[in-house]
Amino acid sequence: MRTLLLTVLLLSLIAGRSLAQSPEIGKEKHLFFHDIRTDAHHHIVPWNQQDPAASYDEILHLCWNYWKNMPCYWMRKIPDFKQKFGMEFPPLYLLFRTHDPADMGIGGDQFAMMLSSFNLWYDYTGDQEVLDNMIFQANWYLDHGLSASTALWPDIPYPCNTEKIPVYDGDLVIGKGFTQPDKAGSFGYELVMLFKKTGNRRYLEAAVKIANTLARHTTAGDKDHSPMPFKVHTATGAVGTILTLDRKGKIESNYTSNWTGTLRLYQELIRMKSENSTAYQNSFELISKWLQSYPLQNNRWGPFFEDIDSWSDTQINAGTMASFILDNPDWVPDWKEKVRGIQKWVIDTLGIPYWQQYGVTVIGEQTAYIIQGQSHTSRNAAIELRYAELTGDTSRVTQAIRQLNWCTYAVDVDGKNRWTDFDSYELWWTDGYGDFIRHYLRGMAAFPEIATGNHLLRSSSVIRNIRYEKGKITYLTFDSQSTEKIRLESRPKKVVAGTVRLKQGTVPGDHWEWTPLHHGGVLEIRHTQANEITVIY
């Protein structure tokens, strides 16, 4: 994924420190920012606290506080910047992919990832500043990043700013005018979530336009062509190019396996009975058949990243497919076997044994750069915890927790989150924040033993206006029919849906259940008649 990684990789090899293979394997005592801490069995534990639950909560707060107070970049080259864009100091994440202002261009998936993580983080914290940041990011991207409504591919976001201004107009490698349809689908899905959270129809209308464009261009695909291309020019429809595997020639960028965001977008709009639901359903079925016929059979899980100019299979494409299957087990026959097949491919292809002395295998980003990544390792862990929750197979839970423990070392005491262990400039906004926070929260929801305090961990409906007070949690759900999972330090005294006090136990109709843990427990609420919930504990 990284423009400077060839140089970095060469330097690491010269230094005898290839992360995938090293003569000093297991002798490392320091990781990212911190000295390694272990338990009595010499297995890795978090750097900040012995208890994973307390550690993860602190780590996520550190990340959010760093993001909230992120350094800004003075736009000296644009004297009238404030007049044009309404701000004097734009946040770095609107401009650059990393902490280094020399690294121009954001990641194509950056906005969708941040909305995804902060959607869950708002539910967990009830912090209005989180929601405000989501709104700010979505508005900015919609105001400064869409293709023309008259284009052949209209009203979809460009993945990158090709100049050092926060205006998104093309692709990092190919240039202006090119977009990545798979990223548009992911962003569209997050816009629907934001509409449900805020009630602002602008987000729904923008999501509908994205879905309309994608549905219009969906084809059946084949082994070399996904239902839509990976990179395409919005005005002309010309498909972008990438290098061949041997880097001796160029081929059209006709293939990517990253379509689960688009499938989720269609699912939401179909459930909401959108006007163009028939077209969405047709596109959903074409994409589903293609994913089931090709990537799920041949493990061609590429490409994804905006700055790779040759073929590369990626953990993110494979992992998001596994997550989609876990959330939609009826989508494919033998869903358990399909998920296990994906996870085996990830370990066999991208697993890095460098830290095995500490009881953990970490996950590399992609076949082009099999270099450890905290975002990819935490994703793998969250998938395994969710699999254990659904199947009862807990054989991989311990390894998943050690992976999350390992990932804590990427976060410094001030919340800086480093992608690799090379230098202080590897602070990628996608990996360290957007594609990091959500995996811990999903892991907590699947395995509440690694959560602490009083927090909503999961809801089948979008959460609105959640408030945490002493001894009390109140929130609204977008749908009246919903199920929530909440981690509490003590058993609830009362649960109310609307004006009705719910009964405890597995009784017919609306009710709540309590599962005690070593400390506190887990509250699950099922309601169908009201969307205003109050929990007294």
Give residue 425's pLDDT band: very low, low, confident or very high (50, 70, 90).
low
- Least reliable range by pLDDT among 47-51, 235-239, 306-310: 306-310
Task: Give the chain's end-to-end CA distance (angstroms, integer).
Answer: 46
The tokens describing 473, both together, are 């949690």
Domain count, the chain: 2
CA 32 to CA 411: how far, in whole Å?
Answer: 8
pLDDT of residue 98: 87
446 within a domain of the structure (yes/no): no
| Residue 14 confidence (pLDDT) above 50 | no
Q: Last residue of some domain: 267, 300, 333?
A: 300
Q: Which of 275, 300, 325 is the last residue of a domain?
A: 300
Is 340 among the domain residues? no
Is residue 158 domain-resident? Answer: yes
Amino acid symbol at 473:
I
CB 537, CB 491: distance < 8 Å? yes
Q: Look at residue 114 and tell me if it is in a domain.
A: yes
Query: Could you report the per-residue pLDDT of 20-71, keeping only the tens digit for each?
Result: 333 234 467 999 999 999 999 999 999 999 999 999 999 999 999 999 998 7
Q: What is the pLDDT of residue 181?
A: 98
Query: Cα–Cα distance between 480 and 399 in angstroms, integer?
Result: 38
> Does any domain span residue 413?
no
Q: How far apart are CA 295 and CA 277, in angstroms?
A: 26
Residues 170-184 as b or e (16 or more Cβ within 10 Å = b): bbbbbeebbbbbbbb
Tell me which of 402 and 79 has the higher pLDDT: 402
The answer to the question of residue 121 being in a domain is yes
**Per-residue pLDDT reduced to its tens digit, 174-194:** 999 999 999 999 999 999 999
Q: In this structure, what DSSP letter does residue 532 have?
A: E
Identify the three-state secondary structure at position 105: strand
Residues 205, 237: contact at Cβ < 8 Å?
no
Residue 267 sits in a domain whose CATH number is 1.50.10.10
How do beta strands 34-35 and 30-31 pair?
antiparallel
| The predicted structure's pLDDT at residue 423 | 59
The pLDDT score that the predictor gives to residue 529 is: 95
In a domain, 161, yes or no: yes
Q: Taking 50 as the threshold, does the pLDDT of residue 308 lie above it?
A: yes
Residue 487 near residue 448, CB atoms below 8 Å: yes
In a domain, 95, yes or no: no
pLDDT tier at 222 (50, 70, 90 boundaries)? Answer: very high
Task: Give 272 or 82, the one with higher predicted confidence.
Answer: 272
pLDDT, tens digit (0-9, with 9 covering 90-100), for 518-528: 999 999 999 99
515, 521 contact by CB (below 8 A): yes
Q: Identify the residue with better confidence: 309 or 463.
A: 463
Q: Write the DSSP assignment of 94-138 as a string of letters.
A: GTBSSS-TTSBB--TTHHHHHHHHHHHHHHHH--HHHHHHHHHHH
Average pLDDT of the chain to the nearest whole number: 91
The residue range of the domain holding 524 is: 455-536
| Rounded distance between C-alpha atoms, residue 186 and residue 108, angstroms | 10
pTM: 0.94
CB atoms within 10 A of CB 324: 20
Domain stop point among 265, 300, 335: 300
The predicted pLDDT at position 409 comes to: 97
pLDDT confidence of residue 132? 97
